[in-house]
Amino acid sequence: MSKLLWALSTNQLFYEEGAIDEDRIEEVKREIAKPNGVIPLKNNGLDRIKVERNLDVAEAQIKLLELDAAHIHDGSGVNRELLGRETNAASGRAILAKQQEGAVSTAELFDNYRLGIQLSGEKQLSLTEQYMTEERQFRIVGERKGLDWRVINQLRLDTLNNVWVVDNDISRNQADFIVDQQDFRESMRQAFAEQFFDMLGKLPPEMSIQLLDLAFDMIDMPGKDEVVQRIRKITGQSDNDQDVDSPEAQARQQQEAQDREVALRERMAKVGLDEAKREEIMAKAKALQIKTKGDALNVAELIEILLPLAPAADRLLSTQQTPEETAHAAA
């Protein structure tokens, strides 16, 4: 970059003897460097001087500058994809592959950094277990605005054995200090929300609908509380941030219980009605089956009665007789 700026800010001057006064050479050089410079020349001096702007040298330096910039990205491993800049990768999978390629070359640095945090945390935890022996109380703020108070090294009198004991003695506990890693986003909440929505897409619909309010609660967007309340109203979920012992919460829970009971009774009544219709249809089918069997028995009995008359009927059909003769033969 410095060579490029030097090449762009300087010029080369070629002149013949007598074209410029020798005592004014420095003044001419300063005027040539100015965009509005004034250069006095002798007669026919324009034909005997030449000024070179070094543009070809500047272009060469620009190309070298571009190569150096690309070498910084390629050599350090922090490529454009890791920086979130414009890239020539066409698809999201290609961008992820380039990001993984950059992460391979920078993994050692982050591993060493994570190891340093791990060792520092283990030492601090060891000193805490060794020297923090007095009674203390900590206020722990929950993720959903809940408060919890924890007491450590609490000294109390055991009236059964008449001895003093220490509850929740951290000096007698062995803990581990663990360092984990997480993908970078604008916020950790956004990263958790993306992972949660991906998990909901893989769950059955009846399970994902029950967890939908928790997923929207992680999103930072205008009107989030109203969206979460409507989802919980549809799914019947309760808000853990509200006081469950308040009259409003108890009335709401009682109303929800009544609604669920009414819905259960309606479903049971519908099931009973469907069962009654099914039994009615089966009874009609059975009656029709019995009637069909009875008709079949009647037909069989009639055939059995008329079977001895079959030879006479055959003879009647085989002869050409008048109706009177046919009646006399039958008698």
Taking only the tens place, the pLDDT of each residue in 116-146 is 999 999 999 888 888 888 888 888 876 555 6
Smallest Cα–Cα separation from 29: which of 13, 45, 46, 17? 13
241 DSSP assignment:
T
Residue 19 placed within a domain: yes
Whole-number pLDDT of residue 294 = 74
| DSSP helix/strand/coil, 156 | strand
Q: Are residues 119 and 166 in the same domain?
A: yes
Whole-number pLDDT of residue 310 = 67
172, 202, 232 - which closes a domain: 172
How many domains is the chain partitioned into structurally?
3
- Phi first, then psi, for residue 193 (nearest 5°) are -65, -40
Q: Are residues 99 and 166 in the same domain?
A: yes
Taking only the tens place, the pLDDT of each residue in 26-57 is 888 788 777 777 777 777 777 777 777 777 77
Whole-number pLDDT of residue 144 = 58
Q: Are residues 67 and 110 in the same domain?
A: no
Residue 260 placed within a domain: no
Q: Are residues 6 and 69 in the same domain?
A: yes
Whole-number pLDDT of residue 129 = 84
Residue 70 placed within a domain: yes
Q: Are residues 162 and 137 in the same domain?
A: yes
Whole-number pLDDT of residue 92 = 67
Which range of residues forms the domain containing residue 13? 2-76
193, 174 contact by CB (below 8 A): no
Residue 225 placed within a domain: yes
Residue 196 placed within a domain: yes
Q: Are residues 167 and 211 in the same domain?
A: no
Which pair of structure tokens corresponds to residue 116?
Answer: 């340093």
Residues of the chain predicted below pLDDT 50: none
Residue 14 placed within a domain: yes
Residue 136 placed within a domain: yes
49, 76, 103 - which closes a domain: 76
Residue 322 placed within a domain: no
The length of the chain in residues reads 331
10, 33 contact by CB (below 8 A): yes
118, 126 contact by CB (below 8 A): no
Q: Are residues 168 and 105 in the same domain?
A: yes
Q: Are residues 109 and 166 in the same domain?
A: yes
Q: Are residues 14 and 72 in the same domain?
A: yes
